[in-house]
């Protein structure tokens, strides 16, 4: 299933998409839009164009796990998307993703204006990687549970 990840920003919003097998995440660009309604429309359209079956919106919690204005804004944005699409829209803890994206860009020698344009898209990719890993781990737990149940019933 293709999953679209969103790193919501005040002016720039990064997007990334998974492959159908949920193994790879690829950055697909940054949307520059200040008006949240138009941004929701553009993200919904991108989800449709890319045949996404789920949208993951990064939830920028504080380091202590508490919520601030940015979390409220991300939750409101996720709700706006739910009104525009017929696929699940989930929020996902994105603590440290922008910092991790910045570290990656530094390691690859990307600085200045180019870095500013790329950091949100790379952050969306980091969010998506984290979510895909979670889904993989959940799937493995479910598979292990099924095997245990089968063993119990066959004995």
Tell me which residue range forms the domain holding 143.
3-97+104-154
Q: What does the pLDDT read at residue 104?
A: 73
The whole-number pLDDT of residue 109 equals 78
Residue 148: predicted pLDDT: 46
pLDDT attached to residue 146: 53
CA–CA dist 120, 52 (Å, integer):
19
Domain count for the chain: 1
Q: What CATH number is attached to the domain comprising 66? A: 3.30.420.140
Contacts by residues 107-115 (CB-CB < 8 Å, ≥ 24 positions apart): none
How many C-alpha atoms does 106 have within 13 Å on its Cβ side? Answer: 6
Q: What is the bridge-based pairing of β-strands 89-93 and 12-18? A: unpaired
Per-residue confidence (pLDDT) for residue 119, from 0 to 100: 78
d(CA 63, CA 29): 27
Along the 155 residues of the chain, how does pLDDT read in single tens digits?
999 999 998 889 999 999 999 999 999 999 999 999 999 999 999 999 999 999 999 998 877 777 778 899 999 999 999 999 999 999 998 876 767 776 777 787 777 777 667 778 888 999 999 999 999 998 887 777 654 444 333 33
Residues 111, 117, 119, 121: what is their CA dihedral angle, to the nearest 10 degrees?
-140
Query: How is residue 10 written in tokens?
Result: 């005040």
Indicate the SS3 state at residue 34: coil
């Amino acid at each position: 299933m293709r999953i679209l990840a969103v790193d919501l920003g005040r002016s720039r919003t990064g997007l990334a998409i998974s492959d159908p097998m949920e193994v790879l995440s690829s950055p697909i660009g940054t949307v520059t839009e200040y008006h949240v309604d138009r941004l929701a429309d553009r993200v919904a359209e991108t989800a449709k164009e890319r045949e996404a079956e789920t949208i993951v919106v990064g939830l920028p919690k504080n380091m202590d796990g508490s919520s601030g204005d940015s979390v409220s804004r991300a939750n409101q944005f996720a709700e706006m998307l739910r009104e525009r699409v017929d696929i699940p829209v989930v929020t996902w803890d994105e603590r440290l993703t922008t910092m991790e994206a910045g570290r990656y860009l530094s390691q690859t020698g990307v600085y200045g204006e180019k870095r500013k344009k790329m950091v949100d898209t790379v952050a969306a990719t980091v969010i998506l990687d984290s979510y895909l890993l979670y889904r993989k781990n959940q799937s493995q737990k479910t598979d292990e549970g099924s095997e245990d149940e089968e063993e119990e019933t066959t004995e």
